[in-house]
Amino acid sequence: MVTIKEVAKLAGCSVATVSRVINNNGYVKAQTKTQIERAIHELNYQPNEAARTLYKRKSKMIGLLLPDISNPFFTLIARGVEDIALAHGFQVLIGNSDNDVDKAKDYLSTFNAYNCVGVIATAFADDQIEKLLVSQGIHYVFVDRVKDEGNGISMNHFEGGQLQARLVLEGKPKNILILHLDLNIEAFKLRIDGIKQELNNYDVSYYDCSAETLKNKSAFISLVKDLHIDSIICSNDVLAIETMGLIQQFQLKVPEDIQIVGYDNIPFSAMTFPQIATIDQSAYFLGQQAVSILLKLNKNCVVNQQDNTLKLSTKRRGSIRFE
């Protein structure tokens, strides 16, 4: 490994001067600078980030903690984070929490041990995580912050649920099934609240059941038939796609017999037939935004509140019976 010492030797100057040109700070005579640059190039020198980090007590890494990168919604966030981090010269250290608080804590400690500039994560129901972050003085941005307080990008899941409900309402539903994932995750819980509040304004029946039900395919289909379900609202697109595949497999037509609504607008939701109607959260943008906020926090800049709320948009697509 080539070190700054060797560069200094070749350029005939001190390491301090080399450091000055690398970091482009302090005065350096033009000629000296040229010599140093030549030496750097000749030796193919690259500064050791560990040494820099040690001195500065901050690396140029961002810790990214997501529940599971396998879900395309989180993948999109990751990609957004990655791209904008790269543009600012930052690297991304990644972790999957699987919604496990202990795993999350471990990753957070590790990110800290590596002197990350900060952490981008999904909000946890359990506020231990946030306390840990605050107590350690780690900068953080929660990408799906629900409340107004604290740093993070807030997404209005309640409103998102209402939008989902309105989408199925266009298709004149009678019996609606709300198919949900883990309700300990506040986002899912809030969406259901929004759905129900909206549905209560109309003369429709609704039922809810856990996605676990899908595991027994025929039992699920029986349930759907017994309840005369004509519309299904899902916690996210992955679940919606899975549900639609299952329904079609049992010869039911989407949207004629049953309409389906998802959430997230992952790319695959637009590739199925019919396409899945959904609520867009602009995940990629969310990831990008999170990095911007984190970087601002790091410079002690004021974070503009209006940048911090993500707008939702409705994607009307073939899986619903709209006019």
Partner DNA sequence: CTGAAAGCGCTTACAG
Q: Which of residues 141-200 bind a copy of itself (CB under 8 A)?
A: none
83 is a site residue for a copy of itself (CB under 8 A): yes
59 is a site residue for DNA (CB under 7 A): no
Q: Could you tell me if 205 and 142 are in contact, meaning their C-beta atoms sit under 8 angstroms apart?
A: no
Count of residues for the chain? 323
Q: Which of residues 10-29 bind DNA (CB under 7 A)?
A: 12-20, 22-23, 25-29
Candidate list 10, 39, 40, 45; residue touching DNA; CB under 7 A? 45
- Provide the minimum distance between the beta carbon of 60 and a copy of itself in the complex, in angstroms, as a whole number: 9
Candidate list 9, 10, 30, 180; residue touching DNA; CB under 7 A? 30
150 binds, among DNA, a copy of itself, none (CB under 5 to 8 A by kind): none
Q: Residues 53, 56, 61, 63: what is their CA dihedral angle, to the nearest 10 degrees?
A: 110
- Provide the minimum distance between the beta carbon of 62 and a copy of itself in the complex, in angstroms, as a whole number: 11
Candidate list 272, 278, 289, 319; residue touching a copy of itself; CB under 8 A? 272
Pick between residue 140 and residue 158 the one whose CB is nearest to a copy of itself.
Answer: 140
245 binds, among DNA, a copy of itself, none (CB under 5 to 8 A by kind): a copy of itself
Pick between residue 72 and residue 152 the one whose CB is nearest to a copy of itself.
Answer: 72
The site string for a copy of itself over 30-49 (x = CB under 8 A, - otherwise) reads ----------------xxxx
- Which spans of this chain sit near DNA (rule: CB under 7 A)? 1-5, 12-20, 22-23, 25-33, 45-48, 51-52, 54-57
Note the residues at the interface with a copy of itself (CB under 8 A): 1, 46-51, 53-54, 57, 59, 61, 68-70, 72, 75-76, 78-79, 82-83, 86, 91-96, 109-110, 112-115, 238, 241-242, 244-245, 248-249, 267-268, 270-275
